[in-house]
């Protein structure tokens, strides 16, 4: 009888999950892919895969910047609008002034001194109390413009830099194409002349040429048609030379000039 042959027990195969029986093996790094050293790395990602989401603090900054930019834009628009309005008003004022000039043809008024009656000045004494009666002629050559001479005017007479006397010009209205003669009495306080001024007055009277200055400052309104302008300041300066410092003084020469300011 043939004997039966039994197979030999095969050795047990270790399970891959049984780590207790398998020793750990260190795999050396491949020379083609070395292990990077620790530190900071730069990762490159395609642009189309990048989504820009700002952090909250940057989002607030962006909103603040947008508000400031919008505020600046509104301010710029307001400034441009205001500048346009001012430019339009200036242009209209220029056109109106040109039209008024062509219609009314304004001319400058003319002034002259007709007489000086001097009292209270004795060149032999250093103490004087001058009083001068002044006659001024004002001419308005305009055909369609009247002139209002208002109150709070002033008139002053000087010798060199010494104020001799002062007063006011009477208030009146001067129509177009009119010549008005104004008389005003100017008075001054007691004055002690220096020896040099007294000597200069004495020499001027001997030569028959004593130079004096008359200064006027008058508030004026123009009447154009039925419209009155605002008050402007008219300043008149007259260089007057007289032959003597008495009530019978005669004017040797006089030259008047005037200027004005657009406000009083």
Structural domains of the chain, ranges and CATH numbers in brackets = 110-261 (2.60.40)
pLDDT-based confidence at residue 148 (cuts at 50, 70, 90): very high
Quote the tokens at residue 74: 């509104």
d(CA 83, CA 78): 9
Residue 264: the pLDDT is: 83
Dump pLDDT digits (tens) for 199-250.
999 999 999 999 999 999 999 999 988 889 999 999 999 999 999 999 999 9
* Cα of 10 vs its chain's centroid, Å: 114
d(CA 214, CA 242): 12
Dump pLDDT digits (tens) for 178-204.
999 999 999 999 999 999 999 999 999
Give the CA-trace dihedral at 198, 203, 208, 210, to 10 degrees: -40
Please check the confidence at residue 102 and state whether its pLDDT lies above 80. Answer: no
Give the CA-trace dihedral at 213, 218, 221, 223, to 10 degrees: -50
Which is nearest to 133 in space by CA: 178, 174, 182, 67? Answer: 182
Contact at 8 Å (CB) between 210 and 254? no
Dump pLDDT digits (tens) for 1-14.
445 444 555 555 44
User: What SS3 class is residue 162?
Assistant: strand
Contact at 8 Å (CB) between 238 and 244? no
Give me the mean pLDDT over the 115-122 stretch: 94
User: At 88, which helix (H) or strand (E)?
Assistant: helix 56-104
pLDDT-based confidence at residue 104 (cuts at 50, 70, 90): low
Please check the confidence at residue 16 and state whether its pLDDT lies above 60. Answer: no
Give me the mean pLDDT over the 72-100 stretch: 79
Residue 94: the pLDDT is: 82
Residue 2: the pLDDT is: 46
Quote the tokens at residue 83: 């500048």
pLDDT-based confidence at residue 51 (cuts at 50, 70, 90): low
DSSP 34: P
């Amino acid at each position: 009888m043939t004997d039966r042959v039994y197979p030999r027990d095969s050795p047990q195969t270790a399970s891959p999950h049984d780590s207790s029986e398998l020793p750990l093996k260190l795999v050396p790094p491949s020379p083609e892919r070395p292990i990077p050293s620790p530190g900071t790395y730069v990762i490159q990602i395609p642009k189309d895969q990048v989504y820009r989401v700002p952090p909250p603090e940057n989002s607030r900054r962006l909103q603040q910047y947008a508000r400031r930019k919008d505020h600046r834009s509104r301010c710029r628009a307001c400034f441009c609008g205001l500048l346009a309005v001012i430019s339009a008003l200036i242009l209209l004022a220029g056109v109106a002034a040109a039209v008024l000039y062509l219609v009314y043809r304004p001319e400058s008024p003319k002034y002259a001194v007709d007489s000086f009656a001097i009292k209270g000045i004795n060149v032999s004494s250093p103490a004087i109390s001058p009083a001068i009666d002044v006659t001024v002629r004002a001419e308005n050559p305009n055909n369609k413009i009247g002139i209002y001479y208002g109150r709070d005017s002033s008139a002053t007479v000087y010798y060199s830099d010494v104020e001799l006397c002062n007063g006011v010009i009477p208030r009146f209205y001067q129509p177009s194409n009119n010549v008005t003669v104004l008389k005003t009495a100017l008075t001054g306080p007691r004055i002690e002349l220096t020896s040099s001024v007294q000597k200069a007055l004495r020499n001027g009277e001997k030569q028959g040429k004593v130079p004096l200055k008359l200064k006027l400052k008058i508030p004026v309104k123009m009447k154009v048609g039925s419209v009155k302008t605002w008050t402007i300041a008219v300043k008149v300066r007259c260089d007057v030379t007289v032959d003597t410092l008495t009530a019978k003084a005669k004017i040797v020469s006089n030259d008047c000039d005037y200027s004005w300011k657009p406000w009083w």
